[in-house]
Structure 1
Amino acid sequence: MTHIFTDDWENIKHFQARPDDILIATYPKAGTTWVSYILDLLYFSQTRPDRQTSMPIYERVPFLENKKPNHPSGTDLANSLDTSPRLIKTHLPVQLIPKSFWEQKCRVVYVARNAKDNAVSYFHFNRMDSVQPEPGDWNSFLQNYMEGQMAFGSWFDHVTGWWERKQSHPKLHYMLFEDMVEDTGREIDKLCSFLGLTSTAAEKEQIRRQSQFDNMKKDDMANYSSAIVMDFKISPFMRKGKVGDWKNHFTVAQNEQFDVEYHKKMNNTTLHFRTEV
């Protein structure tokens, strides 16, 4: 973990969750902003429509472990939220989540993305985000990714750790990025069912349309264009949002090596991913 995610550790560790908090948990670049945006619309598009046009998504849904210099910490932003529920995001592996989220029996929405597309997206993100470690070239980055030498650790440990927790924690909803791309409306229906929301069909359809990738990419309150640590000249924060872009990056040799490593590390889990839709 880089220092910006550990500098506020005591406050993160002892963060006091509330029973109605909703924690959005992901490995980086797995659809965090997409699900955050959808949840914000589900809860507040009718009662607080001004939020969507006046507050960037990273203020509406604070990043719990974030501690950038000269910025409010994620814990401070979360504690200052005036909404009920509070929507809070994290990239922490399951074993590092503040205990209060479990003690308060909070609902958790976890989103996972197939490892190949996730690696590509994380590579381009590291190129454009100045607070991330330098990614090096694509091949070096991919080797580090397979070894788990990443901020927030191993993708393999992250997705399987949360999957195992789901088996014993009924308030954890596990989503797959590929399912969301395939049928966003269906996944919004599942979210509403999990959260006990009774949005109308018309409201859900409006949210489905609004949360399509091309619409979010043009929305300055959602696309992180106001985040000064990101250099959009190198790569946009929202780049493609597709399933299968890994085929434009992996060589045949890299793909073969990755498949061997993948099967070794994912051999003992019931969790399955699609690398194309």
Structure 2
Amino acid sequence: MQAVRDAYMSNQRIRRLLQWAGHQRLVLRVRTRYLTPNDALLATYPRSGSTWMRFLLYESLTGQSANFDVVNTHTGRNARRVLPGGGRVVGTHDPYSHGDRKVVYLARDPRSVVVSEYKLARRQGSDQSFDEFFLAFLEGSTNPFGSWADHVQYWMTSVPARRGHLLVVKFEELRSEPKETLARVTNFLGVPLDPPTIEAVVRNNAVERMRAKEDVAPKDTFKRARSHEIRFVNEGATQGWQQQISAAQADLLRERMQPSLDLLGY
């Protein structure tokens, strides 16, 4: 009898999860009704470099200087129509492609992601230990967008990916070869730029300049309270995780996320 009850409860949980997933998809469809076939997505997992890429693309595609006020104003349906056919570049953390369209998937090593996300959480008042946060990260409960591994699996097998409309860009590539990587992205979006333009955009949005832009951004630009201790732009490190994550934790992460790590070559 206990086994029957356990099976029933398990089935109930599965039904609730499926209902929740269906509800989430419906919400996403309603929320993104404004998208057109000519729009492209910049899809990222949180703390993977989306802010930097948004600045690079805004300045590349509009020819105007990027700052937090203007970039954060021109988002979603208000994004500038800078792509062929009047398309926009719309940023998203959602693991949902909204149909078939061009997608730039900006990925970052999950070991760097968890360290960056933890630092932000601590600066915002969290008293969780890193060990606790790390396990929550593996389970996908540190933010509303699920686990890093599931996020990667979704995008790498999405409709745009299957139809050749997804460009994968690694944050580490953007850091080590910013000009070449940005040129690859703009070419993919159908807006090729000459080398001097690319060089100027990268120079104007180096990490140091991004931090200076954040320092002068209006306080209401962000949905959270700004302070000198809570920075949206961090140092953008690619190997700093080695100072925070133990060998045992690194092994556990690889064990849990191996298929997704393999998909991206991490």
The bucket for the TM-score relative to the shorter chain is 0.7 to 0.9
| 1:245 maps to 2:259 | no
- Return the alpha-carbon distance in structure 2 between the equivalents of residues 58 and 265 of structure 1: 32
Give the paired residue count: 235
- Return the alpha-carbon distance in structure 2 between the equivalents of residues 120 and 224 of structure 1: 27
| 1:260 maps to 2:252 | yes
Aligned to 1:56: 70
- Return the alpha-carbon distance in structure 1 between the equivalents of residues 68 and 233 of structure 2: 20
CA deviations over 1:20-66 (Å, ceiling 9, x no partner): 21211100000111111111112101xxx2x6358332222x2xxxx
- Return the alpha-carbon distance in structure 1 between the equivalents of residues 261 and 129 of structure 2: 31
Report if the CA contact (8 A) 1:216-1:223 is conserved: no
- Compute the TM-score of the two structures, normalised by the length of structure 2: 0.77
| 1:180 maps to 2:174 | yes
Aligned to 2:227: 232
| Alignment RMSD | 2.8
- Return the alpha-carbon distance in structure 1 between the equivalents of residues 215 and 165 of structure 2: 29
- Return the alpha-carbon distance in structure 1 between the equivalents of residues 80 and 249 of structure 2: 48
Given candidates 131, 135, 139, the residue that maps to 1:143 is 135
State the secondary structure of the residue aligned to 2:114.
helix
- Return the alpha-carbon distance in structure 2 between the equivalents of residues 273 and 223 of structure 1: 36
- 84-93 or 259-268, which deviates more: 259-268
Report sequence identity in percent.
Answer: 21
Q: CA deviation at 1:149?
A: 1.7
- Return the alpha-carbon distance in structure 2 between the equivalents of residues 260 and 223 of structure 1: 39
CA deviations over 1:166-215 (Å, ceiling 9, x no partner): 64032211110011111101101211221222311111111121122111
State the secondary structure of the residue aligned to 2:149.
helix
User: After the TM superposition, which residues 132-171 of structure 1 pair with which residues of structure 2 at under 5 Å, given as runs?
Assistant: 134=126, 136-151=128-143, 152-165=145-158, 167-171=161-165
Specify every segment of 5 or more residues in structure 2 that has no aligned partner in the other structure, as ranges: 1-22
State the secondary structure of the residue aligned to 2:131.
helix
One-letter amino acid of the structure 1 residue matched with residue 29 of structure 2: K
Aligned to 2:7: none
State the secondary structure of the residue aligned to 2:66.
helix
User: After the TM superposition, which residues 177-216 of structure 1 pair with which residues of structure 2 at under 5 Å, given as runs?
Assistant: 177-216=171-210
Q: CA deviation at 1:126?
A: 2.4
In structure 2, the CA distance between the partners of 1:8 and 1:86, relative to structure 1 (3 Å rule), is farther
- Return the alpha-carbon distance in structure 1 between the equivalents of residues 226 and 207 of structure 2: 20
- Return the alpha-carbon distance in structure 1 between the equivalents of residues 226 and 139 of structure 2: 27
Given candidates 77, 87, 106, the residue that maps to 2:101 is 106
In structure 2, the CA distance between the partners of 1:82 and 1:239, relative to structure 1 (3 Å rule), is closer
State the secondary structure of the residue aligned to 2:231.
coil
Question: Is the radius of gyration larger for structure 1 or structure 2?
Answer: 2
State the secondary structure of the residue aligned to 1:197.
coil
- Return the alpha-carbon distance in structure 2 between the equivalents of residues 126 and 12 of structure 1: 26
- Compute the TM-score of the two structures, normalised by the length of structure 1: 0.74
Report if the CA contact (8 A) 1:129-1:230 is conserved: no
One-letter amino acid of the structure 2 residue matched with residue 23 of structure 1: L
| 1:30 maps to 2:44 | no
- Return the alpha-carbon distance in structure 1 between the equivalents of residues 258 and 166 of structure 2: 21
One-letter amino acid of the structure 2 residue matched with residue 260 of structure 1: L
In structure 2, the CA distance between the partners of 1:112 and 1:202, relative to structure 1 (3 Å rule), is same
In structure 2, the CA distance between the partners of 1:9 and 1:182, relative to structure 1 (3 Å rule), is same
- 107-116 or 234-243, which deviates more: 234-243
Q: CA deviation at 1:242?
A: 1.1
